[in-house]
Amino acid sequence: MSRLIVISNRVSRPNKSGNQGGLAVALAQALRESRGTWIGWSGEVTDNFTGHIGFSEDDGVKTATIDLEEQDVDEYYNGYANKTLWPLFHFRIDLAEYARDFEGGYNRVNQRFADTAAPLIEPEDVIWVHDYHMIPLGQMLRDRGHRNKMGFFLHIPWPPTRLLVSLPHHSKLVSTLFAYDVVGFHTEEWLESFRHYVEREMGGSVNGDFVTVGDRTIQAVACPIGINAKEFADAAVSQPAQDMHEQVRRSLQDRAMIVGVDRLDYSKGLEERFTGYARFLKDHPDYHRKVVLTQIAPPSRGEVESYQQIRATLDALAGRINGQYSDVDWSPIRYVNQGYPRDKLAGIYRSARIGLVTPLRDGMNLVAKEYVAAQNPDDPGVLILSRFAGAAMQLKDALLINPYSPEEMSDAILRALSMPLEERQRRWRAMMDSVEQQDISWWRQCFTGRLMAVERDTARVEPEGADG
Ligand code: ADQ
Protein backbone atom coordinates (compact mmCIF):
# COMPACT_ATOMS: atom_id res chain seq x y z
CA MET A 1 0.00 0.00 0.00
CA SER A 2 1.32 3.44 -0.95
CA ARG A 3 2.15 5.82 1.85
CA LEU A 4 -0.50 8.47 2.40
CA ILE A 5 0.46 12.10 3.00
CA VAL A 6 -2.40 14.19 4.34
CA ILE A 7 -2.07 17.97 4.22
CA SER A 8 -4.61 20.23 5.91
CA ASN A 9 -4.61 23.57 7.70
CA ARG A 10 -4.76 22.07 11.17
CA VAL A 11 -3.39 18.73 12.24
CA SER A 12 -5.21 16.67 14.83
CA ARG A 13 -2.91 14.52 16.92
CA PRO A 14 -4.45 11.29 18.18
CA ASN A 15 -5.24 11.39 21.88
CA LYS A 16 -6.59 8.90 24.32
CA SER A 17 -9.47 11.04 25.54
CA GLY A 18 -11.82 9.95 22.76
CA ASN A 19 -12.59 13.61 22.05
CA GLN A 20 -11.58 13.65 18.43
CA GLY A 21 -13.99 14.13 15.60
CA GLY A 22 -14.65 11.40 13.05
CA LEU A 23 -12.56 13.04 10.36
CA ALA A 24 -9.46 13.12 12.56
CA VAL A 25 -9.97 9.50 13.55
CA ALA A 26 -10.55 8.33 9.97
CA LEU A 27 -7.49 10.11 8.65
CA ALA A 28 -5.38 8.93 11.58
CA GLN A 29 -6.40 5.35 10.81
CA ALA A 30 -5.44 5.70 7.15
CA LEU A 31 -2.12 7.27 8.11
CA ARG A 32 -1.39 4.53 10.61
CA GLU A 33 -2.17 1.79 8.09
CA SER A 34 0.03 3.31 5.40
CA ARG A 35 2.72 4.62 7.78
CA GLY A 36 2.03 8.08 6.38
CA THR A 37 2.39 11.62 7.67
CA TRP A 38 -0.05 14.43 8.40
CA ILE A 39 1.30 17.89 7.57
CA GLY A 40 -0.19 21.24 8.63
CA TRP A 41 -0.08 24.32 10.82
CA SER A 42 0.71 23.78 14.49
CA GLY A 43 -1.74 26.51 15.51
CA GLU A 44 1.24 28.36 17.02
CA VAL A 45 2.53 31.77 16.02
CA THR A 46 6.22 32.58 15.68
CA ASP A 47 7.99 35.95 15.33
CA ASN A 48 9.95 34.90 12.26
CA PHE A 49 9.09 32.02 9.98
CA THR A 50 12.08 29.70 9.82
CA GLY A 51 10.63 26.69 8.04
CA HIS A 52 11.40 24.60 11.10
CA ILE A 53 9.27 21.44 11.04
CA GLY A 54 8.06 19.99 14.32
CA PHE A 55 7.89 16.20 13.99
CA SER A 56 5.87 14.10 16.34
CA GLU A 57 4.41 10.61 16.55
CA ASP A 58 1.34 9.81 18.66
CA ASP A 59 -0.37 6.47 18.69
CA GLY A 60 1.33 5.43 15.44
CA VAL A 61 0.44 8.64 13.57
CA LYS A 62 3.28 10.83 12.39
CA THR A 63 2.69 14.56 12.17
CA ALA A 64 4.82 17.37 10.77
CA THR A 65 3.82 20.91 11.64
CA ILE A 66 5.05 24.44 11.11
CA ASP A 67 4.45 27.62 13.07
CA LEU A 68 3.23 30.67 11.15
CA GLU A 69 3.87 34.37 11.60
CA GLU A 70 1.15 36.64 12.88
CA GLN A 71 0.86 38.29 9.49
CA ASP A 72 0.36 34.83 7.93
CA VAL A 73 -2.46 34.08 10.34
CA ASP A 74 -4.08 37.48 9.68
CA GLU A 75 -3.88 37.31 5.90
CA TYR A 76 -4.15 33.60 5.17
CA TYR A 77 -6.29 32.10 7.96
CA ASN A 78 -8.41 34.96 9.29
CA GLY A 79 -8.13 36.78 5.96
CA TYR A 80 -8.44 34.92 2.66
CA ALA A 81 -9.66 31.62 4.11
CA ASN A 82 -12.21 32.89 6.63
CA LYS A 83 -13.10 36.40 5.46
CA THR A 84 -13.07 35.75 1.72
CA LEU A 85 -13.53 32.10 0.75
CA TRP A 86 -15.67 30.86 3.66
CA PRO A 87 -18.45 33.46 3.27
CA LEU A 88 -18.33 33.34 -0.54
CA PHE A 89 -18.51 29.54 -0.66
CA HIS A 90 -21.44 29.68 1.81
CA PHE A 91 -23.28 32.04 -0.60
CA ARG A 92 -22.68 35.10 1.62
CA ILE A 93 -21.07 37.53 -0.79
CA ASP A 94 -22.40 40.30 1.45
CA LEU A 95 -19.87 39.20 4.08
CA ALA A 96 -16.97 38.37 1.75
CA GLU A 97 -14.00 40.72 1.92
CA TYR A 98 -11.64 41.05 -1.01
CA ALA A 99 -8.22 42.38 -0.10
CA ARG A 100 -5.04 42.00 -2.11
CA ASP A 101 -3.08 41.37 1.09
CA PHE A 102 -5.29 38.41 1.90
CA GLU A 103 -4.70 36.80 -1.46
CA GLY A 104 -0.96 37.47 -1.20
CA GLY A 105 -0.82 35.97 2.29
CA TYR A 106 -2.83 32.94 1.17
CA ASN A 107 -0.40 32.23 -1.65
CA ARG A 108 2.62 32.88 0.55
CA VAL A 109 1.45 30.46 3.23
CA ASN A 110 0.56 27.82 0.65
CA GLN A 111 4.10 28.18 -0.70
CA ARG A 112 5.34 27.65 2.84
CA PHE A 113 3.30 24.47 3.12
CA ALA A 114 4.64 23.32 -0.25
CA ASP A 115 8.22 23.98 0.91
CA THR A 116 7.51 22.07 4.11
CA ALA A 117 5.91 19.09 2.40
CA ALA A 118 8.29 18.84 -0.59
CA PRO A 119 11.27 17.19 1.15
CA LEU A 120 8.96 14.77 3.01
CA ILE A 121 7.37 13.37 -0.16
CA GLU A 122 8.66 10.17 -1.77
CA PRO A 123 7.85 9.41 -5.43
CA GLU A 124 5.32 6.66 -4.64
CA ASP A 125 3.42 8.58 -1.96
CA VAL A 126 -0.23 9.44 -2.45
CA ILE A 127 -1.05 13.00 -1.40
CA TRP A 128 -4.45 14.08 -0.07
CA VAL A 129 -4.97 17.81 0.44
CA HIS A 130 -7.96 19.08 2.43
CA ASP A 131 -10.20 22.07 2.17
CA TYR A 132 -10.42 25.68 1.11
CA HIS A 133 -7.31 26.79 2.98
CA MET A 134 -5.13 24.85 0.55
CA ILE A 135 -6.66 24.95 -2.92
CA PRO A 136 -3.45 25.98 -4.80
CA LEU A 137 -1.12 23.67 -2.86
CA GLY A 138 -1.26 20.83 -5.40
CA GLN A 139 -0.17 23.15 -8.19
CA MET A 140 2.69 24.42 -6.04
CA LEU A 141 3.84 20.85 -5.43
CA ARG A 142 3.63 20.10 -9.17
CA ASP A 143 5.74 23.23 -9.75
CA ARG A 144 8.34 21.65 -7.50
CA GLY A 145 8.38 18.56 -9.70
CA HIS A 146 6.19 16.16 -7.72
CA ARG A 147 4.42 13.72 -10.00
CA ASN A 148 2.61 11.84 -7.26
CA LYS A 149 -1.05 10.91 -7.30
CA MET A 150 -2.69 13.91 -5.70
CA GLY A 151 -6.25 14.46 -4.51
CA PHE A 152 -8.13 17.40 -3.06
CA PHE A 153 -11.31 17.28 -0.98
CA LEU A 154 -13.48 20.34 -0.36
CA HIS A 155 -15.36 20.16 2.96
CA ILE A 156 -17.57 23.19 2.27
CA PRO A 157 -20.08 23.89 -0.54
CA TRP A 158 -18.98 24.87 -4.03
CA PRO A 159 -20.86 28.08 -4.83
CA PRO A 160 -22.92 28.75 -7.97
CA THR A 161 -20.93 30.27 -10.83
CA ARG A 162 -22.73 33.62 -10.64
CA LEU A 163 -21.42 34.02 -7.08
CA LEU A 164 -17.95 32.62 -7.62
CA VAL A 165 -17.22 35.09 -10.39
CA SER A 166 -17.37 37.87 -7.78
CA LEU A 167 -14.01 36.62 -6.47
CA PRO A 168 -11.10 38.53 -8.01
CA HIS A 169 -8.87 36.12 -9.97
CA HIS A 170 -11.41 33.32 -9.57
CA SER A 171 -10.33 31.40 -12.65
CA LYS A 172 -6.70 31.49 -11.56
CA LEU A 173 -7.65 29.89 -8.26
CA VAL A 174 -9.95 27.28 -9.83
CA SER A 175 -7.40 26.39 -12.49
CA THR A 176 -5.02 25.26 -9.74
CA LEU A 177 -7.47 22.44 -8.95
CA PHE A 178 -6.47 20.92 -12.28
CA ALA A 179 -3.08 20.06 -10.79
CA TYR A 180 -4.82 17.30 -8.78
CA ASP A 181 -5.88 13.95 -10.18
CA VAL A 182 -9.11 13.69 -8.19
CA VAL A 183 -11.19 16.51 -6.71
CA GLY A 184 -13.94 15.55 -4.25
CA PHE A 185 -17.11 17.24 -2.97
CA HIS A 186 -19.73 16.12 -0.46
CA THR A 187 -22.75 16.22 -2.76
CA GLU A 188 -23.85 16.10 -6.38
CA GLU A 189 -25.08 19.68 -5.99
CA TRP A 190 -21.63 21.07 -5.19
CA LEU A 191 -20.12 18.89 -7.91
CA GLU A 192 -22.68 20.13 -10.41
CA SER A 193 -21.80 23.76 -9.57
CA PHE A 194 -18.12 23.00 -10.07
CA ARG A 195 -18.77 21.45 -13.48
CA HIS A 196 -20.95 24.38 -14.46
CA TYR A 197 -18.17 26.81 -13.59
CA VAL A 198 -15.61 24.81 -15.56
CA GLU A 199 -17.83 24.70 -18.65
CA ARG A 200 -18.95 28.32 -18.51
CA GLU A 201 -15.87 30.12 -17.29
CA MET A 202 -12.98 27.93 -18.41
CA GLY A 203 -14.28 26.50 -21.67
CA GLY A 204 -13.89 23.03 -20.20
CA SER A 205 -15.87 19.87 -20.92
CA VAL A 206 -17.43 17.18 -18.76
CA ASN A 207 -17.63 13.51 -19.59
CA GLY A 208 -19.05 11.55 -16.66
CA ASP A 209 -16.59 11.88 -13.79
CA PHE A 210 -13.94 13.32 -16.08
CA VAL A 211 -13.53 17.06 -16.42
CA THR A 212 -11.17 18.49 -19.01
CA VAL A 213 -9.69 21.94 -19.42
CA GLY A 214 -7.09 22.30 -22.15
CA ASP A 215 -4.85 19.25 -21.99
CA ARG A 216 -5.64 18.47 -18.35
CA THR A 217 -8.26 15.89 -17.43
CA ILE A 218 -9.12 15.23 -13.81
CA GLN A 219 -11.81 13.27 -12.02
CA ALA A 220 -14.38 15.28 -10.07
CA VAL A 221 -16.52 13.16 -7.76
CA ALA A 222 -19.10 13.36 -4.96
CA CYS A 223 -18.22 11.43 -1.79
CA PRO A 224 -20.41 12.43 1.16
CA ILE A 225 -18.52 12.36 4.43
CA GLY A 226 -19.96 10.23 7.23
CA ILE A 227 -19.33 9.69 10.92
CA ASN A 228 -18.05 6.73 12.87
CA ALA A 229 -21.62 5.58 13.46
CA LYS A 230 -20.86 2.53 15.55
CA GLU A 231 -18.50 4.39 17.83
CA PHE A 232 -20.96 7.23 18.26
CA ALA A 233 -23.86 4.89 19.02
CA ASP A 234 -21.66 3.15 21.62
CA ALA A 235 -20.66 6.52 23.09
CA ALA A 236 -24.35 7.35 23.53
CA VAL A 237 -24.78 4.46 25.99
CA SER A 238 -21.43 4.91 27.76
CA GLN A 239 -21.38 5.81 31.45
CA PRO A 240 -20.53 9.51 30.89
CA ALA A 241 -23.39 9.72 28.36
CA GLN A 242 -25.82 8.07 30.78
CA ASP A 243 -24.73 10.43 33.56
CA MET A 244 -25.26 13.38 31.26
CA HIS A 245 -28.63 12.01 30.16
CA GLU A 246 -29.70 11.70 33.79
CA GLN A 247 -28.49 15.20 34.64
CA VAL A 248 -30.41 16.66 31.68
CA ARG A 249 -33.54 14.60 32.44
CA ARG A 250 -33.65 15.80 36.05
CA SER A 251 -33.27 19.40 35.01
CA LEU A 252 -36.02 19.13 32.37
CA GLN A 253 -38.74 17.91 34.75
CA ASP A 254 -40.67 16.09 32.01
CA ARG A 255 -40.25 18.87 29.49
CA ALA A 256 -39.28 17.96 25.94
CA MET A 257 -35.82 19.11 24.90
CA ILE A 258 -34.92 20.41 21.47
CA VAL A 259 -31.17 20.46 20.89
CA GLY A 260 -28.90 22.44 18.59
CA VAL A 261 -25.13 21.89 18.50
CA ASP A 262 -22.99 24.06 16.27
CA ARG A 263 -19.83 26.07 16.07
CA LEU A 264 -20.93 29.66 16.51
CA ASP A 265 -20.95 30.49 12.80
CA TYR A 266 -23.31 32.58 10.70
CA SER A 267 -23.62 29.73 8.18
CA LYS A 268 -25.30 27.54 10.78
CA GLY A 269 -28.56 29.52 10.79
CA LEU A 270 -28.63 30.10 14.55
CA GLU A 271 -30.41 33.43 14.37
CA GLU A 272 -33.04 31.87 12.09
CA ARG A 273 -33.33 28.92 14.50
CA PHE A 274 -34.02 31.18 17.48
CA THR A 275 -36.50 33.16 15.40
CA GLY A 276 -38.27 29.99 14.23
CA TYR A 277 -38.46 28.71 17.78
CA ALA A 278 -39.82 32.06 18.99
CA ARG A 279 -42.45 31.75 16.27
CA PHE A 280 -43.37 28.32 17.64
CA LEU A 281 -43.76 29.78 21.14
CA LYS A 282 -45.93 32.56 19.76
CA ASP A 283 -48.07 30.16 17.68
CA HIS A 284 -48.49 27.55 20.44
CA PRO A 285 -48.96 29.00 23.93
CA ASP A 286 -50.17 25.55 25.04
CA TYR A 287 -46.58 24.36 24.68
CA HIS A 288 -45.13 27.02 26.98
CA ARG A 289 -43.36 25.40 29.95
CA LYS A 290 -43.44 22.09 28.07
CA VAL A 291 -40.37 22.56 25.84
CA VAL A 292 -36.81 23.81 26.19
CA LEU A 293 -34.38 24.63 23.38
CA THR A 294 -30.82 23.83 24.44
CA GLN A 295 -28.42 25.49 22.03
CA ILE A 296 -24.79 24.52 22.42
CA ALA A 297 -22.56 26.84 20.41
CA PRO A 298 -18.88 27.18 21.29
CA PRO A 299 -17.42 30.39 19.82
CA SER A 300 -15.14 30.05 16.80
CA ARG A 301 -12.98 32.40 14.70
CA GLY A 302 -13.40 35.13 17.30
CA GLU A 303 -10.85 37.37 15.56
CA VAL A 304 -13.13 37.78 12.56
CA GLU A 305 -15.62 40.63 12.93
CA SER A 306 -18.62 38.85 11.41
CA TYR A 307 -18.19 36.18 14.11
CA GLN A 308 -18.15 38.80 16.85
CA GLN A 309 -21.34 40.20 15.35
CA ILE A 310 -23.20 36.90 15.19
CA ARG A 311 -22.27 36.26 18.80
CA ALA A 312 -23.62 39.62 19.92
CA THR A 313 -26.79 39.11 17.86
CA LEU A 314 -27.45 35.70 19.38
CA ASP A 315 -26.77 36.86 22.93
CA ALA A 316 -29.34 39.63 22.43
CA LEU A 317 -31.88 37.38 20.70
CA ALA A 318 -31.69 34.61 23.32
CA GLY A 319 -32.05 37.26 26.04
CA ARG A 320 -35.02 38.83 24.31
CA ILE A 321 -36.88 35.53 23.79
CA ASN A 322 -36.17 34.40 27.33
CA GLY A 323 -37.21 37.81 28.67
CA GLN A 324 -40.48 37.64 26.76
CA TYR A 325 -41.51 34.08 27.62
CA SER A 326 -39.70 32.95 30.79
CA ASP A 327 -41.35 32.39 34.12
CA VAL A 328 -39.65 32.07 37.50
CA ASP A 329 -39.27 28.32 36.99
CA TRP A 330 -38.96 28.03 33.19
CA SER A 331 -36.83 29.59 30.48
CA PRO A 332 -37.49 28.54 26.90
CA ILE A 333 -33.83 28.74 25.77
CA ARG A 334 -30.69 27.41 27.38
CA TYR A 335 -27.85 28.98 25.48
CA VAL A 336 -24.48 27.41 26.23
CA ASN A 337 -21.18 28.65 24.76
CA GLN A 338 -18.96 25.71 25.66
CA GLY A 339 -17.78 22.51 24.01
CA TYR A 340 -18.40 19.03 25.41
CA PRO A 341 -16.43 15.78 25.21
CA ARG A 342 -17.92 13.50 22.58
CA ASP A 343 -19.42 10.93 24.95
CA LYS A 344 -21.22 13.65 26.94
CA LEU A 345 -22.35 15.24 23.70
CA ALA A 346 -23.79 11.88 22.63
CA GLY A 347 -25.70 11.76 25.94
CA ILE A 348 -27.11 15.25 25.27
CA TYR A 349 -28.25 14.26 21.77
CA ARG A 350 -29.95 11.17 23.18
CA SER A 351 -31.83 13.24 25.75
CA ALA A 352 -33.38 15.44 23.08
CA ARG A 353 -36.81 14.77 21.56
CA ILE A 354 -35.81 16.93 18.58
CA GLY A 355 -32.49 17.62 16.87
CA LEU A 356 -32.82 21.05 15.26
CA VAL A 357 -30.19 21.51 12.53
CA THR A 358 -30.85 24.60 10.44
CA PRO A 359 -27.78 25.75 8.49
CA LEU A 360 -28.39 28.27 5.74
CA ARG A 361 -25.74 26.42 3.77
CA ASP A 362 -23.46 23.57 4.88
CA GLY A 363 -21.06 21.32 2.96
CA MET A 364 -22.38 18.29 4.82
CA ASN A 365 -23.18 18.78 8.55
CA LEU A 366 -22.02 16.01 10.81
CA VAL A 367 -24.15 17.08 13.77
CA ALA A 368 -27.26 15.81 11.96
CA LYS A 369 -25.67 12.37 11.57
CA GLU A 370 -24.40 12.33 15.15
CA TYR A 371 -27.89 13.14 16.42
CA VAL A 372 -29.30 10.17 14.50
CA ALA A 373 -26.55 7.78 15.65
CA ALA A 374 -27.05 8.72 19.32
CA GLN A 375 -30.79 7.94 19.46
CA ASN A 376 -32.42 5.17 21.45
CA PRO A 377 -33.84 2.81 18.76
CA ASP A 378 -36.86 2.06 20.96
CA ASP A 379 -37.77 5.70 21.46
CA PRO A 380 -35.90 7.82 18.92
CA GLY A 381 -36.15 11.58 18.59
CA VAL A 382 -36.96 13.45 15.39
CA LEU A 383 -34.42 15.26 13.23
CA ILE A 384 -35.48 18.60 11.76
CA LEU A 385 -32.98 19.41 9.05
CA SER A 386 -32.36 22.32 6.70
CA ARG A 387 -32.76 21.37 3.07
CA PHE A 388 -29.66 23.47 2.41
CA ALA A 389 -27.30 21.16 4.33
CA GLY A 390 -25.41 18.58 2.29
CA ALA A 391 -26.73 16.00 4.76
CA ALA A 392 -30.28 16.57 3.46
CA MET A 393 -29.34 14.64 0.28
CA GLN A 394 -28.93 11.50 2.39
CA LEU A 395 -31.19 12.03 5.41
CA LYS A 396 -34.41 12.26 3.44
CA ASP A 397 -36.50 10.96 6.36
CA ALA A 398 -35.72 13.97 8.49
CA LEU A 399 -38.36 16.71 8.55
CA LEU A 400 -36.76 18.86 5.87
CA ILE A 401 -37.35 22.59 6.18
CA ASN A 402 -36.41 25.93 4.72
CA PRO A 403 -34.50 27.57 7.60
CA TYR A 404 -35.40 31.04 6.33
CA SER A 405 -39.07 30.38 7.07
CA PRO A 406 -40.04 30.75 10.76
CA GLU A 407 -43.49 29.33 9.92
CA GLU A 408 -42.03 26.15 8.45
CA MET A 409 -39.78 25.73 11.45
CA SER A 410 -42.64 26.28 13.86
CA ASP A 411 -44.84 23.74 12.01
CA ALA A 412 -42.01 21.18 11.96
CA ILE A 413 -41.42 21.55 15.71
CA LEU A 414 -45.11 20.97 16.37
CA ARG A 415 -45.15 17.96 14.06
CA ALA A 416 -42.04 16.47 15.67
CA LEU A 417 -43.39 16.94 19.20
CA SER A 418 -46.59 15.14 18.34
CA MET A 419 -45.16 12.46 16.05
CA PRO A 420 -46.32 8.91 16.93
CA LEU A 421 -43.67 6.44 18.08
CA GLU A 422 -44.15 4.22 15.04
CA GLU A 423 -43.41 7.04 12.61
CA ARG A 424 -40.42 8.19 14.65
CA GLN A 425 -39.02 4.67 14.54
CA ARG A 426 -39.61 4.26 10.83
CA ARG A 427 -37.94 7.57 9.99
CA TRP A 428 -35.05 6.96 12.36
CA ARG A 429 -34.38 3.45 10.99
CA ALA A 430 -34.15 4.73 7.43
CA MET A 431 -31.76 7.51 8.47
CA MET A 432 -29.68 5.23 10.66
CA ASP A 433 -29.27 2.78 7.76
CA SER A 434 -27.79 5.57 5.70
CA VAL A 435 -25.57 6.83 8.54
CA GLU A 436 -24.29 3.30 9.17
CA GLN A 437 -23.74 2.36 5.54
CA GLN A 438 -22.08 5.56 4.40
CA ASP A 439 -19.93 6.05 7.46
CA ILE A 440 -16.53 7.65 7.79
CA SER A 441 -14.60 4.59 6.55
CA TRP A 442 -16.89 4.36 3.53
CA TRP A 443 -16.13 8.01 2.76
CA ARG A 444 -12.39 7.52 3.04
CA GLN A 445 -12.60 4.52 0.72
CA CYS A 446 -14.84 6.41 -1.69
CA PHE A 447 -12.17 9.06 -2.15
CA THR A 448 -8.88 7.23 -1.72
CA GLY A 449 -10.17 4.32 -3.82
CA ARG A 450 -10.51 6.71 -6.76
CA LEU A 451 -7.20 8.33 -6.09
CA MET A 452 -5.23 5.12 -5.73
CA ALA A 453 -6.75 3.79 -8.98
CA VAL A 454 -5.60 6.79 -11.02
CA GLU A 455 -3.22 5.92 -13.81
CA ARG A 456 -0.19 8.05 -13.30
CA ASP A 457 0.28 10.07 -16.43
CA THR A 458 3.72 11.56 -16.15
CA ALA A 459 3.34 13.38 -19.47
CA ARG A 460 0.93 15.82 -17.89
CA VAL A 461 3.54 17.33 -15.62
CA GLU A 462 5.71 19.95 -17.14
CA PRO A 463 9.29 20.02 -15.95
CA GLU A 464 9.89 22.70 -13.35
CA GLY A 465 9.96 26.18 -14.83
CA ALA A 466 9.05 24.93 -18.35
CA ASP A 467 6.25 27.39 -18.95
CA GLY A 468 7.20 30.16 -16.58
P1 ADQ B 1 -18.15 22.23 10.57
O2 ADQ B 1 -18.62 23.51 9.95
O3 ADQ B 1 -17.34 22.38 11.78
O4 ADQ B 1 -17.40 21.30 9.53
P5 ADQ B 1 -20.02 19.95 11.23
O6 ADQ B 1 -20.00 19.04 10.06
O7 ADQ B 1 -21.38 20.06 11.83
O8 ADQ B 1 -19.56 21.44 10.89
O9 ADQ B 1 -19.03 19.40 12.30
C10 ADQ B 1 -18.93 19.98 13.57
C11 ADQ B 1 -18.28 18.99 14.53
O12 ADQ B 1 -17.94 19.69 15.71
C13 ADQ B 1 -19.22 17.85 14.90
O14 ADQ B 1 -18.50 16.65 14.95
C15 ADQ B 1 -19.71 18.26 16.29
O16 ADQ B 1 -19.96 17.18 17.15
C17 ADQ B 1 -18.54 19.06 16.82
N18 ADQ B 1 -19.07 20.06 17.77
C19 ADQ B 1 -19.81 21.14 17.49
N20 ADQ B 1 -20.14 21.80 18.63
C21 ADQ B 1 -19.62 21.09 19.65
C22 ADQ B 1 -19.61 21.23 21.06
N23 ADQ B 1 -20.24 22.23 21.68
N24 ADQ B 1 -18.94 20.32 21.79
C25 ADQ B 1 -18.30 19.31 21.17
N26 ADQ B 1 -18.28 19.11 19.85
C27 ADQ B 1 -18.92 19.99 19.09
C28 ADQ B 1 -16.98 21.44 8.15
C29 ADQ B 1 -18.08 21.78 7.15
C30 ADQ B 1 -19.22 20.77 7.26
C31 ADQ B 1 -18.70 19.35 7.06
C32 ADQ B 1 -17.47 19.10 7.93
C33 ADQ B 1 -16.79 17.78 7.57
O34 ADQ B 1 -18.57 23.10 7.38
O35 ADQ B 1 -20.24 21.04 6.30
O36 ADQ B 1 -19.71 18.43 7.42
O37 ADQ B 1 -16.49 20.13 7.78
O38 ADQ B 1 -16.48 17.71 6.23
pLDDT for position 407:
98
Alpha-carbon span 113 to 216, nearest angstrom: 24
What is the residue type of 335?
Y
Find out whether the beta carbon of 6 lies less than 6 Å from any atom of ligand 1: no
Indicate whether residue 21 lines ligand 1 (CB < 6 A): yes
Q: Are residues 234 and 128 in the same domain?
A: no
Is residue 457, in this structure, part of any structural domain at all?
A: no
What pLDDT is stored for residue 462 in this prediction?
A: 43
462 domain-assigned: no
Nearest-10 Cα torsion for 431, 435, 436, 438: 130
Rounded to the nearest angstrom, the distance between the alpha carbon of 370 and the centre of ligand 1 is 10
* Together in a domain, 18 and 101: yes
Using one digit for the tens of pLDDT, what is the confidence trace for 406-435?
A: 999 999 999 999 999 999 999 999 999 999
DSSP-derived secondary structure letter, 462:
P
Q: Which of 364, 369, 371 to mutate to test the pocket of ligand 1 (most atoms within 8 A of CB)?
A: 364
Alpha-carbon dihedral sign for residues 295, 300, 302, 307 = negative
Residues 6+ apart with CB under 8 A from 88: 96, 159, 163, 164, 166, 167
> Residue 33: pLDDT band by 50, 70, 90 thresholds?
confident
320 shares its domain with 298: yes
pLDDT tens-place string over residues 221-277: 999 999 999 999 999 999 999 999 999 999 999 999 999 999 999 999 999 999 999
Q: For the residues 132-151, what does the mean pLDDT come to? A: 98
- Say yes or no: 249 and 329 in one domain: yes
The answer on 373 and 271 residing in a single domain is yes
**190 and 85 share one domain:** yes
pLDDT tens-place string over residues 345-370: 999 999 999 999 999 999 999 999 99
Average pLDDT over residues 284-302: 94
Q: Give tens-digit pLDDT for 166-193.
A: 999 999 999 999 999 999 999 999 999 9
pLDDT in tens, 143-162: 999 999 999 999 999 999 99
Is the minimum distance from the CB of 341 to ligand 1 under 6 angstroms?
A: no
Q: What is the pLDDT of residue 363?
A: 97
- 390 CA from centroid of ligand 1 (Å): 13
Q: Distance between CA 172 and CA 165 in Å, rounded?
A: 11
Domain housing 292: 229-437
Residues 6+ apart with CB under 8 A from 466: none
In a domain, 175, yes or no: yes
Prediction pTM value: 0.95
156 CB within 6 A, ligand 1: yes
The verdict on whether 155 is a catalytic residue reads yes
Kindly give the distance from the C-alpha atom of residue 34 to the centroid of ligand 1, in angstroms, as a whole number: 26
Q: Output 458 or 93, whichever has higher pLDDT.
A: 93
Asked if residue 57 is part of any domain, the answer here is yes
Whether residue 209 lies in the annotated active site: no
Alpha carbons 364 and 245: distance in angstroms, whole number: 27
pLDDT-derived band at 22 (thresholds 50, 70, 90) equals low
Nearest to 23 by CA among 447, 343, 347: 447
| CATH number of domain containing 44 | 3.40.50.2000
Give the pLDDT mean for 55-67: 93
Q: What is the CA radius of gyration of the chain?
A: 23
Residue 82 lies in a domain: yes
Supply the pLDDT for residue 18: 55
pLDDT of residue 464: 43
The answer to whether residues 288 and 427 belong to one domain is yes
Question: 342-351 vs 366-373: helix axis angle to the nearest 10?
Answer: 70
Q: Decide if 431 is inside a domain.
A: yes
Q: What percent of the chain has pLDDT over 90?
A: 88
Query: Are 12 and 70 in the same domain?
Result: yes
Does any ligand 1 atom lie closer than 6 A to the CB of residue 75?
A: no
Q: Of all protein residues, whose CA lies closest to atom 28 belonging to ligand 1?
A: 155
**Residue among 155, 181, 186, 245 flagged as catalytic:** 155
pLDDT computed for residue 317 by the predictor? 97
181 Cβ below 6 A of ligand 1: no
- 188 shares its domain with 238: no
pLDDT digits (tens, 9 = 90+) for 108-132: 999 999 999 999 999 999 999 999 9
Q: Is the CB of 347 under 6 A from ligand 1?
A: no
pLDDT for residue 460 is more than 70: no
Separation of CA 259 and ligand 1 centre (Å): 15
Share of the chain above pLDDT 70, in %: 96
Instruction: Say yes or no: 215 and 234 in one domain.
Output: no
370 lines ligand 1 (CB under 6 A): yes
Q: Which one of the listed residues 125, 131, 343, 362 is annotated catalytic?
A: 362
DSSP structural state of residue 285:
G
Per-residue pLDDT at 118:
97
Tell whether 108 and 234 lie within a shared domain: no
Q: Characterize 451-463 residue by residue with b for buried, 16 or more Cβ atoms within 10 angstroms of its Cβ, and e for exposed.
A: beebeeeeeebee
364 Cα: distance to centroid of ligand 1 (angstroms): 9
Rounded to the nearest 5°, which phi and psi values hold at 167?
Answer: -80, 125
Mean of the pLDDT values across residues 52-63? 93
Asked if residue 339 has pLDDT above 70, the reply is yes
Predicted confidence at residue 76, as pLDDT, reads 98
Q: Is 267 contained in some domain? A: yes
Residue 93 CA, ligand 1 centroid: distance in Å? 22
Q: Is the CB of 218 under 6 A from ligand 1?
A: no
Collapsed DSSP state (helix, strand, coil) of residue 10: strand
> Bridge-partner residues for 279, per DSSP?
none
More confident residue, 272 or 464: 272
Q: Give the ligand 1 atom nearest the CA of 362.
A: 35
Q: Whose CA is nearest to atom 20 of ligand 1?
A: 262
| Structural domain total, the chain | 2
Residue 451 has pLDDT above 60, yes or no: yes
Predicted pLDDT at 461: 44
Q: What pLDDT is attached to residue 89?
A: 98
Question: 464 alpha carbon to ligand 1 midpoint, in Å?
Answer: 39
pLDDT at 316 over 80: yes
Pocket test for ligand 1, best of 92, 132, 261 (most atoms within 8 A of CB): 261
In a domain, 152, yes or no: yes
Cα three-residue angle 466-451-200, rounded to 5 degrees: 65
- On whether both 170 and 237 belong to a single domain, the answer is no
Q: Yes or no: say if 342 and 231 are a contact pair by the CB < 8 Å rule.
A: no
